[in-house]
Structure 1
Amino acid sequence: MPRDAAPPMTSPADDPWAALRRFTPARIGLGRAGDAPPLGAVLDFQLAHARARDAVHAALDRVPLQAALGGLPWLAVRSQAPDRGTYLRRPDLGRRLDPECLPLLPKGEWDAVFVLADGLSATAVQQHAAAVLRATLQRLPGWRVAPVVIATQARVALGDEIGEALGASLCAMLIGERPGLSVADSLGVYLTYAPQRGRRDSERNCISNIHRSGGLAPESAADKLAWLMTEALRLRLTGVELKDEQPPHLEHGAPGVGSRPVLGSGGPSADRPF
């Protein structure tokens, strides 16, 4: 056995990394098999990489997503990116609404519009967006909410043009986050007051890492989002000026949640992950 190779483990009690692995999905203390990682670790990495690629290239299936909305009114739009390849190569086109979709957006005095957007993980939207949306609406009785907008080939800033066209005071975009090698189905929410083209990232609030495999549970995300939306409408602002001061008794949390929501401009940028 090479001098720097990890000694063979005969039981979990012999593994000095076992305690730390309970607190992180990171690949730590993998050991060695000669000059390479163990075969199991290599195969696990390849599987995670394949899942991330599949999430990026997967198309959003509107039929089950619409069914999961439970009868809520909805409409479908698309960005100016004509296909997935163009979407990945031309982020600017993903931020602009296809002109043919503009007449589909009914102008009104809406308090909010929710946009379900594929982003870089249609898988995340497919699995978590409807649950977050329904739970959030239950926490916002009496709000004038526009029809749910399902957007494809969409990036974060597309919500600005959608919200402006609808005349909504708030736009909450639920969008698939860039997959990693530990999570491929992470959902993010971007909240913008008075959405209009040209809004900056610093003018949004972000709740990220929403998923059930160690992230923020949809119900907890709904608690956070409803609170932020209520404060945003009261204060007439979002972004770095809207601080997360949610009372602790409203933060339900969930067993096994390993990370907290990222708020304000410190979250993922519309120009980087999306």
Structure 2
Amino acid sequence: MSDAFEVLRAATRARVALGRAGDGLPTDRLLEFRAAHAAARDAVHTPLDVDAVVAELGETGLDVLTVTSAAPDRATYLQRPDLGRQLAPGTSLPAGEHDLALVVADGLSPLAVAEHAAGTVAAVLERLAGWSVAPLVVATQARVAIGDQIGEALGARIVVVLIGERPGLSSADSLGLYLTWGPRTGRADSERNCISNVRPPHGLGYAQAAETLAGLLLASRELGASGVVLKDEGTALPPGAG
């Protein structure tokens, strides 16, 4: 007998219309759940291959620096979010004057960074002709706010943190982009703009994410601010959608 919900399931990666077998889930759906849960756990705990990411980012022609947060290991990082927001003591970065700093942070899904960071950075840089961009920074055991300290140290007017987002049961490799004007220690989350779910083909593609970010960057520079006062005036859906 055909499955009446097959079309619905084919239209989304959400866990819908799972069916039942007695009081429980069908075996196939239960195994899919366990596999998705394992993938999410692996995404959180698998270390980022920093050398591979640095090599890919190096193809942009920019210098690539590496830093770590104040969290000495993954277990501490997960238990002490505050340490992930700070650079390790003694970290030194080259000061300068730049329009933009780009920080690639492993976050809660190093998998997302490994798969999507280089492609996203390349697409962003293609759309920022004439902008002074600081050396790229790869940060491990890092959370979004570490970009404030990095951007301030580099002398950047704006910082964008590309970070692995918390995995879900259908999205273990989602990359988020967080923009902050005037980075400095103590910035609030309300002073940031976020573009989430960069993970082609199931989420935003690199080009669409980069177009949205470029528009926000231009508007942020003109406004001299970011966060709740800065609105995304671009299209909400990709061409052909809706």
Matched, 1:27 2:15: yes
Q: Deviations over 1:202-227 (max 9, x none)?
A: 10000001101421111110111111
What is the distance in 2 between the residues matched to 1:138 and 1:26?
Answer: 33
**Equivalent of residue 201 in structure 1, options 167, 189, 192:** 189
**Equivalent of residue 144 in structure 1, options 132, 135, 138:** 132
Matched, 1:72 2:62: yes
What is the distance in 2 between the residues matched to 1:32 and 1:213?
Answer: 30
Which has the greater radius of gyration? 1
What is the distance in 2 between the residues matched to 1:99 and 1:165?
Answer: 13
Q: CA deviation at 1:167?
A: 1.2
**Equivalent of residue 108 in structure 1, options 89, 96, 103:** 96
Map 1:1-274 to 2 at 5 A.
10-11=1-2, 15-69=3-57, 70=59, 71-101=61-91, 103=92, 105-246=93-234, 248=235, 253=238
What is the distance in 1 between the residues matched to 2:190 and 2:110?
Answer: 25
Counterpart code for 1:202: S
Structure 1, unaligned stretches of length 5 or more?
1-9, 259-274
What is the distance in 1 between the residues matched to 2:201 and 2:120?
Answer: 15
CA contact (8 A) 1:220 1:252 kept: no
Q: Deviations over 1:26-64 (max 9, x none)?
A: 222222223321111111101100000000011111122
Q: CA deviation at 1:150?
A: 0.2
* CA RMSD in angstroms, aligned pairs only: 1.7
Structure 1 residues 19, 240: closer, same or farther in 2, change over 3 A?
Answer: same
Q: CA deviation at 1:23?
A: 3.1
After TM superposition, the runs of 4+ consecutive aligned structure 1 residues lying more than 4 A away are none
CA contact (8 A) 1:115 1:151 kept: yes
Q: Deviations over 1:178-237 (max 9, x none)?
A: 000001000000000000011011100000011014211111101111111111111111
What's the TM-score, normalizing by structure 1? 0.84
Paired residue total: 240
Tell me the secondary structure at the aligned position of residue 67 of structure 2.
strand
What is the distance in 2 between the residues matched to 1:253 and 1:29?
Answer: 27
Counterpart code for 1:218: Y
